[in-house]
Amino acid sequence: MMDHLMGRADPSASPAGSAIAAALQDAEALYLSLVEHIPICMYRVDLKGRLTFGNSAYLKDVGRPLEELLGKTVFDIFPLEEARKYAADDRRVIETGEVFRDIEEHQARGEVIYVEVLKFLVRDHLGRAVGVQGLYWDVSGRKRAEDQARKTMAELERSNKDLEQFAAVASHDMHAPLRRILTACQLLEKHCRTCPESETGELYGFIVSSAKQMQELIEDLLAHSRVGAFNKPLEPIDCNRAARTALANLQLVIREAGAEVRLDRLPTVFGTYMEMVQLFQNLIANAVKYTEKKTPRVELSAELRQSEWLFHVKDEGIGIPADQRQRVFEAFHRLHSESEYPGTGLGLATCKKIVERLDGKIWVEPRPGGGSEFLFTIPNRAPQADPPERAE
Ligand code: ADP
């Protein structure tokens, strides 16, 4: 039967033979139409890597007619790096006889796409290896969806971790002032009828300050958890306006500290307005708070560094010990007691969350004459009309 089909006898010589010949013709026509119309690039190379066949999808991808490509190797067809990899993969298929499957980057008509690749050994009717058959097809859409899903998963894991940390620490931190309020109230109740008024006033003061502390903690926790929570789309934000709003919100604190805050001309970046205000506000508030100076001076500026804006917030404050410069960005990590410097330990963690959501980085460095310099980057995605100059 095989000999017959291989052409050693004329299949159409008998009625049965002509039926077989017709069936063979049909099968070949079906094969050809499939190969030519299927949106999968198909090619074949011999053992020396010379092209012996390419279907329409392949020729369209390469952008050259078959006559030009026959006998050529990948080195005549693709960029060198790509060609090296293709040739090595083909060689492995020939040497091992194993099927090759991978998802790889591929340049198609000036664009980088992702393709799924399948390669296997081609044998002749005697079972001898004669070349490699390769198939590849565009999976960019799937790859992008998978990358997005991976990013979302990582974001979910991160926010779950945040939540766990909050649950553990916040419950502890919130209980402390609450317990004090309760104790003070019980004492107040006991003493109210008999003790002098001044003592009662002191207890009232204690209750109020504890309640305030609790309120600040809850407000800071809310601000922290709200960063990126509503999936608000990023838009061009004028940092000059955001920084001025932050200063207005801190008006009282700045006046009480007798601080001078100088704003340089700032750029427009992609972000959300409230988060940019929060970022400037937390950094300026700390610069004004953590100081022993009578007139603390704070400076806010930015400069363009290649593809990103680098912001500086410089103060003349008490500085941060070297071994604490990373840890201060952790939620609830404080270096001082409430009586030394009040706070919740969430300000810098919120700054970090805001900056990282914008694909930036934040860190702190010591200043030569004392004090700290907080630096953060934000990618320069928005079109910039003019570079920042010093505002008068
Ligand atoms: P909070 O100010 O509420 O304690 P932050 O997260 O803003 O929380 O800051 C964490 C810690 O980092 C602070 O407790 C303080 O010790 C230190 N810190 C922050 N900013 C400065 C600064 N500008 N100078 C010196 N120390 C700072």
Q: 286: CA distance to ligand 1 center in Å?
A: 6
Q: What is the DSSP string of 7-38?
A: IIS-GGGSHHHHHHHHHHHHHHHHHHHHHHHS
Nearest atom of ligand 1 to the alpha carbon of 282: 7
What pLDDT sits at residue 198? Answer: 65
Ligand 1 center from residue 282 Cα (angstroms)? 9
- 87-113 residue pLDDT tens: 999 999 999 999 999 998 888 777 889
Measured CA distances, 263 to 89, 299, 311, 312, 365 (Å): 58, 6, 11, 10, 20
What's the CA-to-centroid distance between 285 and ligand 1, angstroms? 9
**Which of 309, 300, 301, 303 has its CA nearest to residue 271?**
309
d(CA 254, ligand 1 centre) in Å: 16
Domain boundaries, the chain: 1-37, 38-138, 229-392
Q: How far is the CA of 391 from the centre of ligand 1 (A)?
A: 28
Report d(CA 282, CA 231) in Å as an integer: 22
- Which ligand 1 atom is the nearest neighbour of the CA of 345? 8
Burial 226-255 (b: 16+ CB within 10 A, else e): ebbeeeeebeebebbebbebbbebbeeebe
Residue recorded with tokens 């079972």: 127
Question: 195 pLDDT band (50/70/90 cuts)?
Answer: low
Three-state DSSP state, 73: coil
Q: How far apart are CA 250 and CA 288, in angstroms?
A: 10
Contact predicate 130/122, CB 8 Å = yes
CATH number at 229-392: 3.30.565.10
Q: Is 110 left (phi over 0), alpha (psi -120 to 50) or beta?
A: left
What architecture (CATH level 2) is domain 38-138?
2-Layer Sandwich (3.30)
- How many angstroms separate the alpha carbon of residue 377 from the centre of ligand 1? 19
- Probe target for ligand 1 pocket from 320, 333, 341, 354, with the most ligand atoms within 8 Å of CB: 320
pTM, two decimals, is: 0.59
**pLDDT digit string, tens, across residues 30-74:** 888 898 999 999 999 999 999 999 999 999 999 999 999 999 999
Q: Which atom of ligand 1 is nearest to the CA of 346?
A: 6
Domains 38-138 and 229-392 equal at CATH topology level: no
Pocket-testing residue among 220, 298, 312, 328, ligand 1, by greatest number of atoms within 8 A of Cβ: 328
User: Residues enclosing ligand 1, CB less than 6 A?
Assistant: 282, 286-287, 290, 315, 317-320, 328, 334-336, 343-349, 372
